[in-house]
Chains A and B, each alone.
Chain A
Amino acid sequence: MLEVKNLAVSYGAVKAIHGVSLEVHDGEVVSLIGANGAGKTTILRTISGLKKADDGEIRFDGTDLRKMDPSKIITLKLAHVPEGRHIFPQMTVEENLEMGAFTDRKDMEANMEEVFGRFGRLKERKKQLAGTLSGGEQQMLAVGRALMAKPKMILMDEPSMGLSPLLVKEIFSIIKEVNRKGITVLLVEQNAKMALSISSRAYVMETGKITISGNAGELLRDDRVKKAYLGQ
């Protein structure tokens, strides 16, 4: 479904990504883990078109994404939940979700009901300004907004960042459920253990390169991964 080949990305003279290749198949949850500054966010931003690549190939269902605008890429049903809680603080929860359906307003109402069904907390706070939501609720709103675009695949950048252990669990169960409904997920996470436990496969990054890849179960037992990311 998503195919990245020999991707190279730089910020000015600084090369952030050199020659990364990865693949995500239809219906999978794939995680991308790695230390701070490894380049995970950069990869997601490049896939969704927010950052331009220097070299390499990005294909989504066969379509070349590299020369495409982010506003076009989302119409291919590839959504992105950016790192950090990016919501529209001075707009209501409802308006935030409406913005998620920006490129495809067909069935918006039904879709919103579905999102509200999944996130009961958001429904109760429909008319509340998004900036007054708690951190966890904001993160849910960001995920809900991405779902409003009716994506086939969703890129998630550290959805559990800064959440209490209980909410982390909730977010992960939501990701699992979203995936069960047929949405493919590429997940970037610091919480490697949790991420690996819901993924089929994973890639481990170090300073702009992929160093280890394989089945999530295998990686959970891999000594290098255990030492560096699982703290064992």
Chain B
Amino acid sequence: MERRVKISYVINFLGVLAVFLLFVLLFESRVFGAATQYIKGICTTACYTIIMVASLNLVVGCMGEFSLGHAGFVSVGAYASAIVSGALTGKGLPDLALFLIALLAGGIAAGITGVMVGIPALRLRGDYLAIVTVAFAEIIRVCFCNFSITGGGKTMSGILKLSDFYWCYWVMAACVAVMYLYIRSKFGRTVKAIREDYIAAAAAGINVTYYKVLTFTVAAFFAGVGGGVYAHYMTAMIPTNFNFMYSAELLSEVIIGGIGSLTGSIIGAAFLSSLPEMMRQFSQYRMLAYSVVLIIVMIFKPGGIFGSWEFSLTRLLRRAEKKEHEKAEGGVKPWKQL
């Protein structure tokens, strides 16, 4: 068992590395010519959107609660990391270290906000919780509109452009890996149990509030990291970027991809965040397109495109191995019959 787990880690890491090398090859060989920089940018956008959507999926999929205020945590992470990287500029730190410290700061700030919001809000469930999260995100936005350190409602600009795609790819891979392990861990299963049956969970001795707040905080942390990547990619931002529409967009990406499926979140986020870039001329109709996609998915596949299915490289390999095996055996049989 132990060995198998270790092997699966190695296999999955190699898979992630292979995808990375594919990107490097594509970009370095300049297949896209002059558009390389532009496409790299789209890929970076996809990276931070994946982090945000996957983290929201922890709340929506794993915990089974609707949060409509995820953009609030994203904005806390974005502003906190921008402030930290701004303060540390010129201290002789290498760019990568500066970037990682800023992201960590953004994550921690958002995580702390997550605790503060989670403790009162998670006493509520369902619709009530959704409404309260909207309110909290609005409060956060209004605060940022009034603090002078965040630009006081005007654009905060001059943020270092640290979000290089190659770095962002690994940040995204690390975030998704940690979230995946969280869902698979005892914590994740406990939260799932709470979602399944609140009373049974409490009767089994699970401290319901603790596990819910913990999951909410982990989700907020990663939303903050995503926000940090966002800030250092955009280099300028305004609190209204993180309004209700942004939260709704993230939520619809979770739902379209598949509630409870990180695979769905990755593919949903990657596709839907690059979609508006691909059809720039129609970008004002983006929300309309989203709504239509959402309605279609809800009618034909209410659990999202991937449902709660997860892609597994190890499973795929095992299956391929089995097929090879069968083929080999199948090849032998007719010969034997002769």
A-B complex is real: yes
Chain A residues packing against B (C-beta within 8 Å): 48, 50, 69-71, 73-75, 79-82, 84, 86-91, 95, 98-100, 102-103, 142, 145-146, 149
Contact present for A74 and B205 (CB under 8 Å): yes
Contact present for A88 and B200 (CB under 8 Å): yes
Contact present for A71 and B192 (CB under 8 Å): no
- In the bound complex, CA of A149 to CA of B200 (Å): 13
Closest B-chain residue to A74, C-beta based? B205
How far does the Cβ of A136 sit from chain B's closest Cβ, in whole Å? 17
- In the bound complex, CA of A101 to CA of B113 (Å): 33
- In the bound complex, CA of A81 to CA of B200 (Å): 8
Partner of B203, one of A81, A90, A98: A81
How far does the Cβ of B245 sit from chain A's closest Cβ, in whole Å? 32
Most buried by B among A87, A90, A100: A90
- In the bound complex, CA of A158 to CA of B244 (Å): 47
Contact present for B205 and A70 (CB under 8 Å): yes
| CB within 8 Å for A149 and B192 given contacts A82-B199, A87-B197, A89-B197 | no
Check B206 for interface membership: any CB of A closer than 8 A.
yes
A75 neighbours in B (Cβ, 8 Å): 205
How far does the Cβ of B193 sit from chain A's closest Cβ, in whole Å? 5
Check B234 for interface membership: any CB of A closer than 8 A.
no
| CB within 8 Å for A89 and B203 given contacts A95-B189, A102-B190 | no
Task: Pick 25 A–B contacts, CB within 8 A, sort by A.
Answer: A50-B199, A50-B203, A70-B203, A70-B205, A74-B203, A79-B203, A84-B199, A86-B199, A86-B203, A87-B200, A88-B192, A88-B193, A88-B200, A88-B201, A89-B197, A90-B196, A91-B189, A95-B189, A99-B193, A99-B201, A102-B206, A103-B204, A103-B205, A145-B204, A146-B203
Which B169-219 residues have a C-beta within 8 angstroms of A?
A: 189-190, 192-193, 196-197, 199-207
A88 neighbours in B (Cβ, 8 Å): 192-193, 196-197, 200-201
How far does the Cβ of B103 sit from chain A's closest Cβ, in whole Å? 34
Which B203-256 residues have a C-beta within 8 angstroms of A?
A: 203-207
How far does the Cβ of A97 sit from chain B's closest Cβ, in whole Å? 10
Contact present for B203 and A91 (CB under 8 Å): no
Chain B residues packing against A (C-beta within 8 Å): 189-190, 192-193, 196-197, 199-207
Contact present for A71 and B205 (CB under 8 Å): yes
- In the bound complex, CA of A142 to CA of B207 (Å): 19
Chain B contact residues: over half helix, strand or loop, or mixed?
A: helix
Apart from A91-B189, A99-B201, A145-B204, list 4 A-B contacts with CB within 8 A: A70-B203, A81-B203, A98-B189, A103-B205
Contact present for A91 and B193 (CB under 8 Å): yes
B189 neighbours in A (Cβ, 8 Å): 91, 95, 98-99
- In the bound complex, CA of A111 to CA of B202 (Å): 21
- In the bound complex, CA of A102 to CA of B204 (Å): 7
Contact present for A91 and B205 (CB under 8 Å): no
Contact present for A89 and B205 (CB under 8 Å): no
For the complex of A and B, 9 pairs with smallest distance between CB atoms: A74-B205, A86-B200, A88-B196, A103-B205, A71-B207, A80-B203, A71-B205, A86-B197, A86-B199
A98 neighbours in B (Cβ, 8 Å): 189
B199 neighbours in A (Cβ, 8 Å): 50, 82, 84, 86
Contact present for B203 and A99 (CB under 8 Å): no
A86 neighbours in B (Cβ, 8 Å): 197, 199-200, 203
Contact present for B197 and A149 (CB under 8 Å): no
A70 neighbours in B (Cβ, 8 Å): 202-203, 205
A48 neighbours in B (Cβ, 8 Å): 203
